[in-house]
Amino acid sequence: MLGGDLVAVWEVALSDGVYRIEFAHGTTTGKRVVYVNGQEVIRKDWMFKLVGKETFTVGGANTKATINIEAVSGFAYEYTLDIDGKSLQTFIDNRAKTTRTWLLRVDGAECRVVLEKDTMDVWCNGQKMETRGEFADDGTETHFMLGEHNCCIKATSSGQKKSGIVHYLLLDGEKIPASTQ
């Protein structure tokens, strides 16, 4: 589908899913094509300038993404991806601080649950969940349903200033280990 012009592929984890961004760059024709999860979002067939930027949005929240095309030497190019105005690595590092993700199987289906710590919004497989928050003796609990299953994200103090608040997910009372993405 992309032919020999595919020069870069990135995976970007957002609250509503993990997006695969592919970039095809024809360095002889100047062609630029951007795909998000296999869907073409930008196509420019004849570009005289081989360097520059392509900006588009990703995900349900229309997060801004920019591919930077820079000449390194001669006919070699470097491609970098910025998400929300930050380098992909900085974006990933910030998300690690502001979100918590769990990957689990519920009734035979894969579920990716994401907690946005600043808003306490909970997402499952791209859908924002209906939640009910309540205070507990040791912190807060955010309750929601996955099918017929009771889920609860508990936020408790770690007792240490550095790590602050610890979030963990309970599915029908069973603790689910957090994921790295």
Domain range list for the chain: 3-84, 97-176
Alpha-carbon distance of 109 to 70, in angstroms, equals: 42
Digit-coded pLDDT (tens) for 118-151 = 899 999 998 999 999 999 888 899 999 999 999 9
Residue 153: what pLDDT? 95
For the chain, give the number of residues.
181
Going by pLDDT thresholds of 50, 70 and 90, the confidence category of residue 180 is low
Residue 180 burial (CB count, 10 A): 7
CATH class of 97-176: mainly beta
Alpha-carbon distance of 69 to 48, in angstroms, equals: 13
Q: What is the end-to-end Cα distance of the chain in Å, rounded? A: 28
152: β partners = 143, 170
Which of 50-54, 73-77, 95-99, 152-156 has the least mean pLDDT?
73-77
For the whole model, what pTM was predicted?
A: 0.83
pLDDT above 90 as % of the chain: 69
58-68: average pLDDT? 95
Residue 1: what pLDDT? 44
Residue 103: what pLDDT? 93
Going by pLDDT thresholds of 50, 70 and 90, the confidence category of residue 51 is confident
155-164: average pLDDT? 78
**How far is residue 121 from each of residues 4, 25, 52, 99, measured CA to CA in Å?**
41, 38, 36, 10
Residue 74: what pLDDT? 75
For 3-84, CATH number out of 2.40.128.180, 3.30.750.24, 3.30.300.30, 1.10.760.10 equals 2.40.128.180
Domains 3-84 and 97-176 share a fold: yes
* Selected residue with higher pLDDT from 21 and 76: 21
The full DSSP string for 48-76 is S--SEEEEEEETTTTEEEEEEEEEEETTE
Digit-coded pLDDT (tens) for 70-122 = 998 877 899 999 999 999 999 999 998 899 999 999 999 999 999 999 899 99
